[in-house]
């Protein structure tokens, strides 16, 4: 614990030596991580809306006319046995006609057309797990369409395909933003920590002479990078929360990032800070060690 306090005090002291540089680094990191947080916020809400739409995925199985009741019951039990199916509801042609007449304001469709033009239909709802998997609806529709007594299967192919393509684009955009933000964080911190290291080059040379290990010298810089990245990520999340608060008046239901995403965001930024700091000091530290070995030999 005493050693950790010493390392933290050293990191804080290094930060105090270059306040302007530290603020510039913090500003750049916050801006990059804020943009990433906004992309994650948008992706999270799009995923939520997509899950709500996935709940509407289902099939309408239109049957040929004059099917015996026994066959209708057999088909209902068969469709319920499918693992992807959550609910099967049978609607006769008379029930469907009455529903349409109610929606049309009481118009007598059968009298106008002379007959009931509708077919009996099974309305099939999928389980949430099946609805979330790409291609399930299409595959189930193709399987059901070949059964005897089935006239046509409708499932909104166009909007389901568009939904799945849109989700893939969201995933790729989020991954791309994460990669670019990671690279930017690494570069910003690499430059900041390396300048801090080079500014204490002579002090570090003396520490090597008196026997300080590489880990002892390296640790304050790793903590400095972690402090920069963690602070910037917290600020980025606060700005993202403020943005969400402003937008929620125009977009009711806009949700902030879940706790698990927030924890991963903070932990990932901190880890990037440590890795970048390690990479920035490793090369000059090795160079100093080789110089020290050459002098002592």
> Which residues have a Cβ under 8 Å from the Cβ of 263 and sit 6 or more positions away?
none
CA distance 286 to 288: 5
Ordered structural domains, the chain, with CATH:
2-52+163-296 (no CATH), 58-154 (3.30.70.3040)
Tell me, what's the pLDDT at 282?
Answer: 75
CB 256 within 8 A of CB 41: yes
Q: Tokens in use for 271?
A: 């880890």
Phi/psi at 58 (nearest 5 deg)?
-170, 180
Tell me, what's the pLDDT at 239?
Answer: 93
Tell me, what's the pLDDT at 9?
Answer: 66
Taking CA atoms, 169 is separated from 47, 162, 164, 176, in Å, by 11, 10, 9, 10
CA distance 171 to 177: 10
CB 60 within 8 A of CB 155: yes
CB 177 within 8 A of CB 39: yes
Question: Which has the closest alpha carbon to 11: 222, 211, 208, 216?
Answer: 222
CB 114 within 8 A of CB 88: no
pLDDT tens, N- to C-terminus, the chain (297 residues): 666 675 666 666 666 566 676 778 888 888 888 988 888 888 888 777 666 555 556 788 888 877 777 788 888 888 888 888 888 888 877 776 677 667 666 666 555 555 666 778 888 888 877 776 767 778 888 888 888 888 888 776 545 566 666 767 777 887 888 888 888 888 888 777 777 776 666 666 666 666 666 667 677 778 888 888 888 999 999 999 998 888 887 777 788 888 998 999 999 889 988 888 887 777 766 766 565 555 555
Tell me, what's the pLDDT at 249?
Answer: 77
CB 127 within 8 A of CB 118: no
Question: Which has the closest alpha carbon to 36: 188, 275, 236?
Answer: 236
CB 178 within 8 A of CB 271: no
Rounded to 5 degrees, what angle do the CA atoms 140, 144, 147 make? 160
Torsion sign across C-alpha atoms 233, 235, 181, 16:
negative
Tell me, what's the pLDDT at 112?
Answer: 56
Question: Which has the closest alpha carbon to 276: 1, 47, 4, 32?
Answer: 32
Burial class (CB in 10 A: 0-12, 13-18, 19+), 60: middle
């Amino acid at each position: 614990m005493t050693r950790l306090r010493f390392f933290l005090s050293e990191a804080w002291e290094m930060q105090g030596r270059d306040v302007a540089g530290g603020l510039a680094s913090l500003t750049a990191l916050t801006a990059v991580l804020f943009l990433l947080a906004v992309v994650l916020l948008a992706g999270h809400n799009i995923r939520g809306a997509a899950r709500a739409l996935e709940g509407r995925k289902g099939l309408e199985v239109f049957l040929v006319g004059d099917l015996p009741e026994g066959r209708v019951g057999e088909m209902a039990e068969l469709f319920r046995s499918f693992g992807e199916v959550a609910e099967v509801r049978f609607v006769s042609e008379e029930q469907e006609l009455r529903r349409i007449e109610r929606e049309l304001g009481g118009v007598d469709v059968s009298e106008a057309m002379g007959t009931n033009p509708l077919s009996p239909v099974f309305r099939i709802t999928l389980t949430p797990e099946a609805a979330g998997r790409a291609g399930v609806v299409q595959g189930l529709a193709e399987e059901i369409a070949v059964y005897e007594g089935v006239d046509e299967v409708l499932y909104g192919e166009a909007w389901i395909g568009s939904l799945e393509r849109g989700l893939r684009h969201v995933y790729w955009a989020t991954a791309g933003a994460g990669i670019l933000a990671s690279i930017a964080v690494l570069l910003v911190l690499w430059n900041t920590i390396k300048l801090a290291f080079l500014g204490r080059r002579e002090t570090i040379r003396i520490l090597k002479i008196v026997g300080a290990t590489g880990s002892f010298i390296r640790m304050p810089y790793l903590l400095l990078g972690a402090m920069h990245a963690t602070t910037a990520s917290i600020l980025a999340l606060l700005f993202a929360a403020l943005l969400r608060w402003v937008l929620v008046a125009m977009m009711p239901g806009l949700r902030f990032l879940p706790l698990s995403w927030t924890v991963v965001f903070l932990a990932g930024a901190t880890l990037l800070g440590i890795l970048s700091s390690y990479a920035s000091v490793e090369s000059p530290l090795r160079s100093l060690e080789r110089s020290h070995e050459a002098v002592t030999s």
